[in-house]
Amino acid sequence: MTESITKKQDEKEKTRTLTDTGVINFRNRLSLVLEGVSGNAFAKKVGMSEAVIRDYLSGKTYPSLNRLATIAQKCNVPIEWLVTGKGECRLLSETEVRGSVHIPFHHLNDTVKSYSKIESIPFDITLIKHQGCNHEDLVAVWAKGDSMEPTISNHDILIINKAHCKPIDGYLYAVEYEDQISIKRIQNQGANLALLCDNPKYPTIIGDKHEPQEFKIIGHVVYLLKDLN
């Protein structure tokens, strides 16, 4: 029993080490290194058996240091990147190397005609992937005023996904209304669709779902960056 517990603890510690160092994702980087060739062709290229390469790609085993050096040399990739994922590599796009993307920046509550790119904001690509977004569908806006207090304050930054315009009850959306862009909370009210302000002193906008709307949903709010000053 004690031996079994010790073995499980050792396996758990091994997995933690592989995860912390990035080694556990070696197989993903090796898949990139193949550059579309078959496992058999790649095995011949690096002088190893196809079965060995197959085990590496499945995550069943990991290569020894001398084999890592061989793969890195034959494929012209840094060995540190191959092992841990750290550093730059010719196989990575510029976006993946930077770890961030630049999202076009727009002002909120300006007229629609001036709803054009004026600058951009760098944003962590891992957060974008977490939401399942395409960075090309995102825009950033400054919040102005207090209509969405206490949720959104003046000068907060919101990241909007323009690919998601289908209203979901209770979610926040950027909305074009009366030649302005503002943030509203969507609420289904039977045959009507309500645009709510979190600040109760501002009126609710009601639209009939079966009639042409006076407003246009620009996109769904996916991130809110608070101004703490």
Residues 14 and 66 placed together within one structural domain of the fold? yes
Distance, CA of 1 to CA of 4 (rounded, Å): 5
- Shared domain for 120 and 173, answered yes or no, is yes
89, 108, 127 - which closes a domain: 89
Residue 159's domain comprises: 97-225
Query: Are residue 105 and residue 205 in the same domain, yes or no?
Result: yes
| CA proximity to 23, closest of 79, 70, 76, 77 | 79
In tens, the pLDDT along 56-99 reads 999 899 999 999 999 999 988 889 888 888 777 776 665 555 56
Q: Going by C-beta distance under 8 Å and a sequence separation of 6 or more, which residues neighbour residue 205?
A: 177, 184, 194, 195, 214, 215
- Give the tens place of pLDDT for each residue, 177-194: 777 788 999 998 888 888
The pTM of the whole model exceeds 0.85: no
Q: Please tell me the total number of residues recorded for the chain in this structure.
A: 229
